[in-house]
Amino acid sequence: MKKFINDPFDAVDEMLEGYLLVNGKYLRRLEKARTVVSTAAPRQGKVGIVTGGGSGHKPAFLGFIGKGMLDAVAIGDIFTSPPPTAVYEGAKAVNGGKGVLFLLGNYSGDVMNFDMAAEMARAEGIEVEQVIATDDVGSAPPTEIEKRRGVVGEFLTWKMAGAKAETGASLAEVAEIARRVNDNTRSLGVALTGCTIPASGKPTFVLPEDEIEFGVGHHGEPGNKRMKMLPADEVSEIMVKQILEDLPFKSGDEVAVIINGLGGTPDLELYIMYRKVHQLLQDAGIKIYRSYVGEFFTALDMQGASITLTRLDEEMKQLLDAPADTPAFKQL
């Protein structure tokens, strides 16, 4: 393993120190926990939005704290859930009197710790709702959506729920939008390599040079189908077909599209994939309303990509268009 780190067990805290030095305009760290909040928080009359999870997914989660998106992030070690106290302190710090929405991925540690944090916050009179992301079609069949992981589709949940909160909407209204986004979002990942966790120094899984794996997770979880290496167009076609059939999407739908790099994939390759995805959706009669290509939710240094589609209604389009200003995402 060759990495620009010092002690592997200090990597998260040293990363966080550097990130705050660069992005102090947007972010501040709480004293009582490894939790980062918006410098504008708390904002009276606005629902606070809190998320969090293990490190190793940059720019998620820290990169999306700011106006129009997230208010606080609880930070765990690499691929490890943050403790309940980190989430709870974040909820207290961003509560502006209208309650707090927890947005989280469907991972057992995150669900357990966010549940505990919600109980702690409610005991202090803070109203809390939770929405759990389940957009990863590769992690469970359509008959078991409740078992699916939350992956890069969470970015669109943060964007639209954050925009809804900016309007002064109630906690119930912001939570409803988050659920609607999740219900209409499907994602699928593919990997060329595993990723290497600094503390272990070894890849999470190993693929032969001539193979790829579909259905991989953002914590280096192996996928559910291996194939011989294929050209980018064929890989994209396999992924889009599975995603379209899952919701299912249909002709006439308007969608947001994300082509997400998993940490070690150049933009050159992501745009080649987007070109084919655009063609496939056009052929299916599906209109692309907004597209996002780049790194939004990574898995350390994994070479791979994921595709996300979200079916949009008129309100969701308005929220997607709303301004945002965060370290990793800016939209005027």
**Burial category of 282 from C-beta neighbours within 10 Å (exposed 0-12, middle 13-18, buried 19 and up):** exposed
114 conformational bin, left if phi > 0, alpha if psi -120 to 50, beta if neither:
alpha
Sign of CA dihedral 132, 158, 285, 233: negative
**Which parts of 79-217 are beta strand (E)?**
100-105, 128-133, 185-191, 211-214
Q: 60 Cβ partners below 8 Å, 6+ apart?
A: 53, 152, 154, 155, 296, 297, 298
Residue 263 and residue 218 in contact, taking contact as beta carbons nearer than 8 Å: no
Catalytic residue among 34, 46, 57, 98: 57
Residue 308 and residue 186 in contact, taking contact as beta carbons nearer than 8 Å: yes
The SS3 assignment for 187 reads: strand
Residue 324 and residue 67 in contact, taking contact as beta carbons nearer than 8 Å: yes
Catalytic residue among 34, 159, 186, 219: 219
Angle between helices 108-123 and 84-94 (to 10 degrees): 50
- Of 259, 303, 301, the C-alpha closest to 280 is 259
Using CA atoms, how far residue 270 sits from 44, 50, 184, 233, 267, in Å, is 40, 29, 23, 11, 5
Residue 191 and residue 262 in contact, taking contact as beta carbons nearer than 8 Å: yes
Catalytic residue at 278? Answer: no
Pairing of strands 100-105, 128-133: parallel
- Of 275, 101, 113, the C-alpha closest to 178 is 101
Catalytic residue at 219? Answer: yes
- Annotated catalytic residues are 57, 219
